[in-house]
């Protein structure tokens, strides 16, 4: 499924990501996947939210620097080797990946996991993933 990912450029200080996540919670917007990285001075938060339009409006109103892009959010069984098999299909199809991150809600083998993939050709990602 193709979804919108938001990338936030934050100061690397205590509470910066909390401020954003609490605003999302107050607006009843769910975070479906998130990756946060920081350097000495700045932080980069990337997330997929349940409501693209409401998230966009909230970030603009809060004057938070952000960009957005489309990403592929793919579901898979939460079992050893499943991610490797999916990535093998992408490699064989010649699909280049810019980055990925993943999550599972209940990490038992009977549950599902999601992976968020950024790539130049998202339709090729979905087609090759299967």
Please give the tally of structural domains in the chain. Answer: 2
Q: Do residues 64 and 49 share a domain? A: yes
Q: Any idea what the CATH number is for the domain that residue 95 is in?
A: 3.30.2130.10
**6-49 pLDDT tens trace:** 999 998 899 999 999 999 999 999 999 999 998 888 889 999 99
Q: Do residues 125 and 103 share a domain? A: yes
Which one of 26, 52, 69 terminates a domain?
69
**70-87 pLDDT tens trace:** 999 999 988 899 999 999
Which one of 52, 69, 86 terminates a domain?
69
Which structural domain, as residue segments, surrounds residue 83?
Answer: 71-129
Please, which residues bridge with residue 47 across strands?
6, 34
Q: Which residue spans within 50-91 are E strands per DSSP?
A: 66-77
Q: Is the dihedral of CA 100, 101, 104, 108 positive or negative?
A: positive
Question: What global pTM score does this model have?
Answer: 0.87
Contact 101, 111 (CB under 8 A): no
């Amino acid at each position: 499924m193709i979804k919108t990912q938001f990338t936030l450029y934050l100061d690397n200080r205590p509470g910066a990501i909390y401020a954003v996540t609490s605003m999302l919670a107050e607006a009843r917007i769910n975070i479906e996947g998130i990756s946060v990285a920081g350097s000495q001075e700045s932080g980069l938060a990337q997330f997929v939210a349940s409501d693209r339009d409401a998230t966009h409006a909230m970030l603009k109103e809060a004057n938070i620097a952000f960009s957005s892009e489309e990403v592929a959010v793919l579901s898979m069984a939460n079992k050893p080797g499943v991610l490797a098999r999916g990535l093998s299909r992408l490699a064989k199809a010649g699909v280049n990946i810019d980055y990925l991150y993943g999550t599972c809600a209940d990490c038992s083998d009977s549950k599902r996991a999601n992976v968020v993939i950024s790539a130049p050709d998202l339709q090729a990602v979905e087609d090759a993933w299967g």
